[in-house]
Chain A
Amino acid sequence: MAEVALRNIQKSFGGAKVIHGVDLEIRDGEFVVFVGPSGCGKSTLLRLIAGLEDITEGDLFIDGERVNDWAPAKRRIAMVFQSYALYPHMSVYDNMAFGLELAKASRSEIDARVREAARLLQIDDLLDRKPRQLSGGQRQRVAIGRAIVRDPKVFLFDEPLSNLDAALRVQTRIEIAKLHADTRATMIYVTHDQVEAMTLADRIVVLNKGRIEQVGTPLELYHRPANLFVAGFIGSPQMNFVPVEAVSAGSDHIEVRLPGGQTLPVPVHPEGTRTGEALTLGIRPDHLQVREDGPFRGRIELVEQLGENHLLYVAADGLRLTARETGDSRHRAGDVVSLAATGESCHLFRGSGEALPLTVPRGDRTTPPQSRTA
């Protein structure tokens, strides 16, 4: 168990820079999830922490020691790979014992630790099998077991659930959460799946193009996204973005003009926003409601019935808006409806993409979204 500190970490492959100076402090026992679109550098960042890639510039500290030039094993990290990466010619037992054997642990200690980990993961009856005789879920357990036996300071997970089917993914996700609760080990987890990120993380690190966009707890990111990228990335379906114009700025709100001409007061700190400045209004699908007098009037292009709720895709004023309402929909594609949102539920972003700070705290007021589809 240990804290991990990244100070201005940079990585270039040849001339191409893929990580542009990342600063991050991970606390002891924390579960941190790196998310981002593919190619954002999240896996590279994990591999830099693992020691599988050399750090081009910056310092990496594990447990207070600078480990830039240390081999992976010396850093006392363990890694679980997306493809499991088990040794195919070794039995489950030998797969888990390999690292301890190389560390010159005694035979009895190896045996005790392997059996302990196997019991924890409920794979004790598979110890004599070869990886090819196991199912995908069992292989992933063995891979996790191989990490556990080494009693690492930091667990690293590189998209460990991507190769599992949906049901197994949920089950294994719960097991990883339980593993973290039991061991209280520091864990760093890479995924592109925001459900995994939201459910597992103590803190989420949103990465884009090799830079950190925002670090925060899952609900912080959901309720107070720092910029357009995070707002668009966290939450499914995606937040609606509407181009608006600032009409007037009060001390604790901005009045904006919607594309349809109506105005809406949004409770954010203006921070020097000028009248007439172009802004982006962000509205989560859950906060758009069908109303007789709603400012966004348009034709429904598609209705998706999900049972517990439904999604309406509406083309209004040259925009594509998504609204989510509970229960079954009484609307059909082709109907003309009006959508409305309260200013209190909206976000405002400046031209640079950065969010204007909310006046009214969110998260403790609005209920978190009831359902996120897996």
Chain B
Amino acid sequence: MKVLTRIGFWLLVAAIALFSLFPFYYAVISSFRSGADLFTVAYVPESFDLSNYFAVFQRQPFGRNILNSIIVAGAVVAVSLALGITAAYAFGRIAFRGRSLLLMTILGVSMFPQVAVLSGMFELIRSLGLYNTLPGLILANLMLTLPFTTWVLTTFMREMPKEIEEAAFVDGATPWIVVRRVFLPLMAPAAVTTGLLAFIVSWNEFLFALTFTLTNERRTVPPAIALMTGSTAYELPWGTIMAASVIVTLPIIALVLVFQRKIVAGLTAGAVKG
């Protein structure tokens, strides 16, 4: 019976792994194939042809697109965390009138689907003169990331022991020093996690990036891949699309692996009795 349970467990794990990893695996092997090969089904890599990878960068400014994505996602993470942590301090620590109403409003913002706000956001971006610019995309993406970073960080902030903050006040700290020197180090795991989520959301964001940019040089990776064209209007360049997909997936995997080690639990142990 015990053996059966174990076998069942590992079968389930294998199924989940297959389900989530197979698409990426198929993208990887497809990216190494070219021409008519692409339209036959193959499950094992039989050729190792890097021409698709060169083609990605030759036929369009893909390097520029990747840089755009990094700038947008990086800025979104930085702004989200900076605003999220300071807002979380206010929401989690300071009692003021309308606090829960404001928190609910922030949650309400994330309720609207992207398409619903698309036209309004378009007008906003246009009137600010940010159409077809990276700051425009950063602003739009903040709408997606700020609500959840604020909420998650507020939850963590509330769990910070009150006495630590008071001890810091007695030591002469201002609220800003408390946030920066005391709470930020303690909340680092939470900040890293939410920052990573914000990065992924912004990195993968498609609709805003498609709508608010016009020229190839200003696009981020997702619309750039979607709008890739082959040598003729009738050719869909599957090989280069797959190569591009693999290239932009790797940074995400690397980021998760790097920061996973930083997400240390129990950092607050020893602060108060326990």
Specify which of A78, A87, A139, A163 is in contact with B164 (CB 8 Å cutoff). Answer: A87
Say whether A168 faces chain B, with CB atoms less than 8 Å apart.
Answer: no
Query: When chains A and B are docked, how far (Å) is the Cα of A78 from the Cα of B270?
Result: 21
Say whether A181 faces chain B, with CB atoms less than 8 Å apart.
Answer: no
Which label, helix, strand, loop or mixed, suits the secondary structure of the A interface? loop
Centre residue among A72, A89, A136 by max chain B CB count within 10 A: A89
Say whether B123 faces chain A, with CB atoms less than 8 Å apart.
Answer: no
CB-CB contacts of B254-274 with A at 8 A, as 1s and 0s? 000000000000011111110
Specify which of A73, A86, A139 is in contact with B169 (CB 8 Å cutoff). Answer: A73
Say whether B90 faces chain A, with CB atoms less than 8 Å apart.
Answer: no
CB-CB contacts of A84-95 with B at 8 A, as 1s and 0s? 111111000000
CB-nearest residue of chain B to A86: B271
Q: Known contacts A85-B166, A86-B270, A132-B269; is A103 also within 8 Å of B186 by CB? A: no
Residues of A within 8 A of B172 (CB): 71-74, 99, 102-103
Contact call B273/A136, Cβ cutoff below 8 A: yes
Query: When chains A and B are docked, how far (Å) is the Cα of A74 from the Cα of B169?
Result: 10
Q: Known contacts A73-B171, A85-B167; is A163 also within 8 Å of B268 by CB? A: no
Minimum CB–CB distance for A347 against chain B, Å: 40
CB-nearest residue of chain A to B167: A85
Q: Which of B160-185 contact A (CB under 8 A)?
A: 161, 163-164, 166-173, 177, 181-182, 185
Q: Known contacts A83-B163, A89-B186; is A78 also within 8 Å of B273 by CB? A: no
Query: When chains A and B are docked, how far (Å) is the Cα of A195 from the Cα of B17?
Result: 64
**Interface Cβ pair total, 8 Å cutoff:** 85
Specify which of A72, A83, A88, A131 is in contact with B170 (CB 8 Å cutoff). Answer: A72
**Which size bracket describes the interface of B in this complex?**
20 to 34
Residues of B within 8 A of A51 (CB): 169-170
15 A-B contacts (beta carbon < 8 Å): A52-B166, A73-B173, A79-B167, A82-B163, A86-B167, A88-B267, A88-B270, A98-B181, A99-B170, A102-B177, A131-B270, A132-B270, A133-B270, A134-B270, A150-B171
Known: A52-B170, A86-B167. 14 other contacts (CB 8 A): A72-B169, A74-B172, A79-B167, A81-B163, A81-B166, A83-B272, A85-B272, A87-B164, A89-B186, A98-B168, A99-B172, A102-B173, A146-B171, A150-B171
> Taking beta carbons and an 8 Å cutoff, which residues of B are in contact with A?
161, 163-164, 166-173, 177, 181-182, 185-186, 267-273
Nearest 6 A/B pairs, CB to CB: A132-B270, A73-B172, A85-B163, A99-B171, A83-B272, A88-B271
